[in-house]
Structure 1
Amino acid sequence: MPSSSKGGRNNKESAAPGVPLIKWVSRLAIAVLVFAICGFLDTIKHRWYVLDPTSLHELAQAAIASSPNDTAGMISHIVSNLTATYPSSIAWNTNADEWVFNNAGGAMGAMYIIHASITEYLIIFGTPLGTEGHTGLHTADDYFNILVGEQWAFSPGQLEMERYPAGSVHHLPRGTAKQYKMHEGCFALEYARGWIPLMLPFGFADTLTSTLDIPTLYNTVRVTGRETMRNLFIGKI
């Protein structure tokens, strides 16, 4: 009997080292599966885009031409054109008074969210005071269509700044980061396309670590979530 008991203990001890190995193999398999799913979704995300950069650039230029020196008029032109041009199945936020502060990457301005979904957002962003900071490193392409003023930008190694006046577009490809400045008074029609939820931590970080402006955080989450859900429930993501 004693020898049998000893043999049982040895069996348990010899089996124990295999348990962590099974756990790590399972974790690796899950990680590979998640990576494969994300990679596949990344190849088909374009199916859910409802806007395109070229048309938005043309719209921004038309807004500048229709309302020179009138930022509010430009915004009204943009929103009116979008609601008239695109199908009613796309949700637009037509409340042009729904502005919130935006602190991200050290820069501070305000934004009006016109459209938000899982794969796109369209906002008016800017400030009459001027601001500068880090663009962030994103999983989405970002297009700044300058409406008023100028945007300046800089990448490491450049000895001269990039200058984007009203009517031009500054394309920030996914995975690219720059220093940028909304020079003096500057407003832009900003369009991002890609995985928008992955951009949110950058948008919230300054509030959580610096400004502690909880009402602004609440309103940002409320409006973004509301517009995203509106588009999700009407069949667009």
Structure 2
Amino acid sequence: MASSSKTNAVATPAASSSKRGLIAIALAGLVALCAWLNTVNDQFYILSPESLEESFRTSLSVAASSDASASTNTSLIISTLLSQLVERHPDARIATDFQNPREWVLNNAGGAMGSMFIIHASITEYLIIFGTAVGTEGHTGRHTADDYFHILTGQQTAYSAGELTREIYNPGDIHHLPRGTVKQYAAAPETWALEYARGWIPLMLPFGFADTLFSTLDWPTLYHTVRITGREMIGNLLQGKI
């Protein structure tokens, strides 16, 4: 019995070292896979920052020429924007029913809270209307996708660590957050934006779900977020869109 105990005592450090080695190899393999995937995802995009900017500016121009009130003007901007997207991207799966409350979900991520309407969601791209009627602030997240935030109404401010003054984004401005970068951001009341992300979208989901899982525990909202996101991603996959 004593001999067996000594053998186990000797074998345990070696086994632990072997496990650490396997974990290190697995992590290195995952990093290499992600690096390779980032070299091929361009072929799967059907949207582009340039075409989205054209639709974005057209919607603001139409709204600016109207005499609508602030709330009606926001609806006009969004409806014009969605019409532009359908017209410019006839082959894309574009959701337009933004006046249906069941298509909107609250979103808690990085300490910030807002609501979103999912226009398009696939494995490599998502396009949403995101914003807040009351204002919010939080962490952008550090993502595997480029993020373009087109300000429709209100104002967004942001800064990176080491900056002593804020960046200011007003209607008509586009805040580009390159993949891998991170900032603190704030949105003033009644700030709404067209947000476009291009990269590997499933890797962004843990950030999007973490606040719900570990803080708000808002299971109905989580269900509806998964329901709508899953519906759009699966729908796009069935059409051959990754």
What band does the TM-score fall into relative to the shorter chain?
A: 0.7 to 0.9
Q: 1:22 to 1:208 in 2, by over 3 A?
A: closer
Cα separation, 2, equivalents of 1:35 and 1:147: 36
* 1:70-219 superposed matches below 5 A: 70-88=73-91, 90-96=92-98, 97=100, 98-219=103-224
Task: Report the equivalent of 1:60.
Answer: 56
Letter of the 1:157 counterpart: G
Aligned residues with identical type, % of pairs = 55
The one-letter code sitting in structure 2 at the alignment partner of 1:45 is N
Q: Deviations over 1:34-78 (max 9, x none)?
A: 443332221111111111112212211111111234111111111
How far residue 32 of structure 1 moved from its aligned partner, in angstroms, is 4.8
Q: Unpaired segments of 5 or more residues in structure 1?
A: 1-12
Letter in 2 for 1:204: F
Describe how 1:216-231 pairs up with structure 2 within 5 A: 216-231=221-236
* Superposition map of 1:30-69 within 5 A: 32-68=28-64, 69=70
2:110/2:139 contact within 8 Å kept: yes
After TM superposition, the score normalised by the length of structure 1 is: 0.86
Q: Structure 1 counterpart of 2:76, which letter?
A: G
Could you tell me how far apart the structure 2 residues matched to 1:212 and 1:24 are? 34
2-structure distance, mates of 1:35, 1:155: 25
CA distance in 2, matches of 1:201, 1:111: 17
Aligned to 1:37, the other structure's residue is in SS state helix
Rounded to whole Å, the distance in 2 between the matches of 1:151 and 1:37 is 35
Moved more, 143-152 or 59-68: 59-68
How many residues in Structure 1 have an aligned counterpart in Structure 2? Answer: 223
User: How do 1:8-27 residues align onto structure 2 when only pairs under 5 Å count?
Assistant: 20=15
**AA of the residue aligned to 1:189:** L
d(CA) in 2 for partners of 1:196, 1:231: 13
Using structure 2 for the length normalisation, give the TM-score. 0.84
In the alignment, the residues of structure 2 paired with residue 165 and residue 22 of structure 1 have an alpha-carbon distance, to the nearest angstrom, of 54
Aligned CA-pair RMSD: 2.2
Name which one, 1 or 2, has greater alpha-carbon Rg.
Answer: 1
Separation in 1 of the partners of 2:109 and 2:59?
27
The alpha-carbon distance between structure 1 residues 180 and 23, as it changes in their structure 2 partners (threshold 3 A), is closer
- Letter paired with 2:88: T
Report the Cα distance in structure 2 between the residues aligned to 1:55 and 1:131, rounded to whole angstroms: 29
Question: Which segments of 5 or more consecutive residues in structure 2 lack a partner in the other structure?
Answer: 1-7, 65-69
